[in-house]
Structure 1
Amino acid sequence: MTTTSRTLITGGRIITGEPGSPDFGIGDILIEGDRIVEIAPSIEAPGATVVDAGGMIVAPGLVDTHKHTWQSAIRHRCTNIDLDMYFGEMFANRGPRYTPEDVYLGNLLGVLTALDSGTTTVMDWSHIQNSPEHTDRAIDALEDGGIRAVFGHGWPLVDLGAWIFNSDLPHSSDVRRIRNDRLSSDDALVTLALAARGPELSTMEATKKDLAMARELGIRTSDALLSV
């Protein structure tokens, strides 16, 4: 007989985040397995693992809707530069040198620091698809880190001029492999989206083809719109 794990969070200031639901105030939360089963001012749960949240806020995890996670290990390189300098530093200088293992380590670092700061869901806008191995290792890190993520499959940073300067190239067909072999489920912890260049970085015809492919694959699209 399998015993479900029980965790009791005590004495925290509870913010539910539910529309129309007032802040709960100070209270306890009982978790059984991966489900919250009770929220109350005081809960008795013999045998449960107790987490003392006194003086802390207990709230749903935050959601980061646009994160270039592969850059996490070198994010300090872009603290005081403009967009053109960012393109030069990350796209032309750093990105082409990245190995699949560099991508894995960057993504894993980004995932773990996100979780440590209370962010439990990320949209990983990944434009480091230099090879299928780069893409696989990026996904490996998201899965190994245990975060909920939407993996946005972007473009390679090799032969960059052909991909982002009014490009007429269609999105890499490797996204089909990812959809079929790696991220076929829409209910998994890590799911797939298309990180498309959009009309800002590619021609309108290329944009139309990219959107059509995303619809064919049944995945969402996030486009790059740099000037509004």
Structure 2
Amino acid sequence: MNSSRQTLLIRGATVLSMDPGLGDLQAADVRIEGRRIAAVGLDLDSTGADCIEAQGMILIPGLIDSHTHLWQGPLKGLGAGMWGMGDYNRHIFPLRERFSAEDVGDATFATGVEMLDNGITSVLDFCHNVMTPGHAEAGLAAHARTGQRVLFGYGMLGRFDTLAADHAWRLDQVRALSREHAGGGDALVRLGVALASMEFAGLQMVKAEMLLARERGLPMTFHQNVAGQIHELHEAGLLGPDMLPVHCNPILDEELALLAQCGCGISFTPESEVGDGRSTRVIARAHRAGVTPSLGVDVPSRVALDLFSQMRLTFLLMRAEEAECERASGRWPLARYPGTPFIQPRDMLAYATVNAARAIGMGDALGRIAPGCLADLVLLRPGRYSASLGDPAAHVVLQANVSDVDTVIVDGRVRKRGGALIGGTRDQAAAATARVRERLFGGIPA
């Protein structure tokens, strides 16, 4: 996706900076020079700037998805009626073996463009569809085309029957790719390692992956679906702040304490968790334990590429659980008292911005609207009929939807403006999806 980078001035917006030093600003301006935010304030100098008039609109940091398998985008709808992980493992996950490298490239591009259109400026792509070296290369090349900010989680979990035999070439490719795509810094496309699941690969294989990732300075992420794995990593001396566990539904309170001690967050995928019949209590437990939660879509085969929905669902799940605890304790009807309710809509926006920036290893540069931060921003129209009263962050979480996304800026470049993606990429993404479906199914499956 080609777009020019120039000095920009967003003028007159309600700015939700998510920065504790700036807070919210009414009718404020944001000046962007190059890749970064140069100033935030009132009546900023517009000299030499392309002005984006934003009166009546809400400016938020770009939304960050900390866990999605982008290769599944063209499979949208195939997981709609799934019942638990058994259905997923029978009907969705095995399809990856039918994806060619070209399919992974097309699917990744199409999904990334749709995410950008929906205000998701950054994503951790947990690509567990690296069936050959070409699959990883195609995925990375597709990400370079979209203009989305990406941490590409190179998937170490290949075919179950050749997992051990294929391990050496995967390690070798990660080592080679790491010379081109560093895990640190602020590059638009960075490399990370999506560790093989411990329940399938075992601790020793995963340990080899972790040692390589740390040798090369690459962030790591892994599915945490089995009780006791955090303890196991801790006992092996492997737990660290460069890891992002996902789901964590069976995690023990003691394991949450270990994550908090080492500065780990977790990625929670609420709609996917509910769809799989998992417990959703971990998100509140993590928040209370000081483990910073972030959010992801997870499986586009079933879940819409929409972080507004994930924020809203997470808020409702957490409020429902807290109300259930109140009722069980005999405190009914509900009443407010210090510390209850403990979760607020604004917390959800933090999950998808500040916390998620930390989760992908960019907490100093992303997730806030403040001078010096990278210019990843989303401008929202507050609705066709009226803006919400009260906290504008509550509007974003409880009222906004993807159709409100007016303007998207990534790395100082305008990717969407006035509701239209730059460069006709919607049509390109739709065509890429159609190609994948044609090759896999002969068209759209009945």
Answer whether contact 2:182 2:218 (CA < 8 A) is retained.
Answer: no
For residue 160 of structure 1, what is the aligned residue in structure 2?
160
Given that 1:12 and 1:56 are in contact with CA atoms closer than 8 Å, whether structure 2 keeps it comes out as: yes
Whether the 8 Å CA contact 2:12–2:27 is kept in 1: the answer is: yes
**1:181-214 residue CA offsets vs partner (Å, 9 max, x unmatched):** x314632221111101232222122222222222
Q: Which amino acid aligns with 1:118?
A: G
AA at the equivalent of 2:181: L
Q: Who is 2:69 aligned against? A: 68
How far is 1:40 from its partner? 2.6
Distance 1:151 1:61 in 2: 18
2:84 paired with 1:85: no
Partner letter of residue 19 of structure 2? E
Quick check: 2:126–2:154 contact (8 Å CA) kept in 1?
Answer: yes
Q: After superposition, what is the alpha-carbon deviation per residue over 1:14-39, rounded to whole angstroms, capped at 9, x for unaligned? A: 11111243211222222223232232
Q: Distance in 1 between matches of 2:7 and 2:166?
A: 52
How has the CA–CA distance of structure 1 residues 16 and 209 changed in structure 2, closer, same or farther, with 3 Å as cutoff? same
Q: Residue 183 of structure 1 aligns to a residue in which SS? A: coil
Counterpart for residue 179 of structure 1: 178
RCO higher in 1 or 2 (8 Å CA, sep ≥ 6)?
A: 2
Corresponding residue number in structure 1 for 2:125: 124
Instruction: Give me the whole-angstrom Cα distance separating, in 2, the residues matched to 1:90 and 1:178.
Output: 28
Instruction: Considering fraction of residues, name the structure with more strand.
Output: 1
Checking the alignment, whether the CA contact within 8 Å between 1:123 and 1:151 is kept in structure 2 is yes
> How far off is 1:73 after superposition?
1.7
Q: Is the 8 A contact 1:168 1:206 kept in 2?
A: no
Question: 1:27–1:40: 8 Å Cα contact kept in structure 2?
Answer: yes
- 1:40 paired with 2:38, answer no
Alpha-carbon distance change, 221 to 31 in structure 1, aligned in 2, over 3 angstroms = closer
Does 59-68 or 193-202 show the bigger shift? Answer: 193-202
- Please state how far the C-alpha of 1:44 moved relative to its aligned partner: 4.7
One-letter amino acid matched to 2:8: T
Letter in 1 for 2:193: L
Residue 48 of structure 1 and its aligned partner are, at CA, apart by 2.7
Aligned residue pairs: how many? 219
CA pair 70-23 structure 1, distance change in 2 beyond 3 A: same
**Distance (whole Å) between structure 1 residues aligned to residue 91 and residue 160 of structure 2:** 13
- Relative distance call for 1:176 and 1:215 in structure 2 (3 A) is same
Q: Structure 2: where are the runs of 5+ without partners?
A: 227-249, 251-446
TM-score by length of 2: 0.46
Aligned to 1:190: 189
Offset of 1:42 from its aligned partner? 2.7
Pair 44,113 (structure 1): closer, same or farther in 2 beyond 3 Å: same
Moved more, 183-192 or 122-131: 183-192
Q: Write out aligned runs for 1:1-228 (5 A).
A: 5-81=6-82, 82-92=84-94, 94-155=95-156, 157=158, 159-163=159-163, 170=167, 172-173=170-171, 174-180=173-179, 182-184=180-182, 186-187=184-185, 188-227=187-226, 228=250
In structure 1, how many angstroms separate the alpha carbons of the residues matched to 2:36 and 2:215?
35
Superposition deviation, residue 6 in structure 1:
2.4
One-letter amino acid of the counterpart of residue 69, structure 2: H
Contact 1:104-1:141 at 8 Å conserved across structures: yes
Describe the shift of the 1:63–1:133 C-alpha distance in structure 2 as closer, same or farther (beyond 3 A): same
Superposition deviation, residue 46 in structure 1: 4.4
SS of the aligned residue for 1:13 comes to strand
Q: Is the 8 A contact 2:157 2:197 kept in 1?
A: no
Task: State the Cα deviation string for residues 92-142 of structure 1 (Å, max 9, x = none).
Answer: 1x2111111211111112211222222211111001111111110100111
Bigger mean CA offset, 36-45 vs 77-86? 36-45
Q: What do residues 67-102 of structure 1 show as CA deviations (whole Å, max 9, x unaligned)?
A: 11111121322233122211222321x211111121
Do the aligned partners of residues 56 and 80 (structure 1) sit closer, same or farther apart at CA in structure 2, a change above 3 Å counting?
farther
Letter of the 2:191 partner, please give it.
L
Q: Distance in 1 between matches of 2:216 and 2:129?
A: 21
Contact 1:214-1:220 within 8 A present in 2 as well: yes
Which 5+ residue runs of structure 1 have no aligned equivalent? none
DSSP 3-state at the match of 1:14: strand
